[in-house]
Amino acid sequence: MSESRLSNRVALITGASRGIGAAVAERFAAEGAHVILAARTVGGLEEVDDRVRAKGGTATLVPVDLMDFDKIDQLGQSIFERFGRLDILVGNAAMLGDLSPVSHYAPKTWEKVFALNVTANYRLIRSLDRLLRGSDAGRAMFVTSGVARSPVAYFGAYAASKAALEMMVRMYAREVALSPLKVNLLDPGVVRTKMRAHGFPGEDPMIHPAPEEITDRFVELAEPACQVHGEVVSV
């Protein structure tokens, strides 16, 4: 372990089987947290778990489709029964959807993007709020994107969903302002992920930082000492 800045904290990370979610999970574990890894891909979760345990960390694997919203309620109950609290929530799981003019977007794809990027995070808040408040220093952060504030053509569903996410999280932050819980949005910028490659297929991915290079800010927002609240924080 390194500085153990998250010693004995319980952290749930969604979209933890690859990319930013996997990198954050491994970093949190290295900082002393017990990480709950949530994602659809069992093989990916097991690979992250192997890396966490190889470095002396601990993890709980939760194979789950976050668009099966009832499973999110079950997840909250399971965390309560096992840990009695949740110290850190990282709402990272997201879907880009198709790159298309808004007028051409397939309704089913649009609805799926909003289901994962917005509604699943609302259901996480609904299910986990009491657990986060049960922590002495609850910390919740949700991964956003610059396109929520600076429109990029053909990113319609993704950009609109991230804008909706930002407003929802900012409202939640105001609603818990008198509690110890700190709630923020985190914009990691351009990172070398599969989602970025899908959106910009002709781009050289090596010009961007790898996910493990941008985890410092996640740790800062997760620490019990953090006093940042209701902000959009950039890496």
pLDDT digits (tens, 9 = 90+) for 125-152: 999 999 999 999 999 999 999 999 998 9
CA-to-CA separations, 163 to 48, 155, 170, 211, in angstroms, rounded: 30, 12, 11, 23
Cβ neighbours of residue 142 under 8 Å, at least 6 residues apart? 90, 91, 92, 121, 165, 169, 184, 185, 186
Active site residue 158: yes
**Residue-range domain boundaries for the chain:** 10-234
- The 3-state DSSP composition of the chain as helix, strand, coil percent (nearest 5) reads 50, 15, 35
| 3-state SS, residue 207 | helix
CA-to-CA separations, 2 to 29, 60, 152, 214, in angstroms, rounded: 10, 21, 39, 17
pLDDT at 2 over 50: no
Question: What is the H or E stretch that residue 54 is in?
Answer: helix 42-54
Identified catalytic residue from 105, 122, 154, 158: 158
Q: Give the predicted TM-score (pTM) of the model.
A: 0.93
pLDDT at 3 over 60: no
**Alpha-carbon distance 227 to 84, whole Å?**
24
pLDDT digits (tens, 9 = 90+) for 79-127: 999 999 999 999 999 999 999 999 999 999 999 999 999 999 999 999 9
Superfamily of domain 10-234: NAD(P)-binding Rossmann-like Domain (3.40.50.720)
173-178 mean pLDDT: 98
Amino acid at residue number 185: L
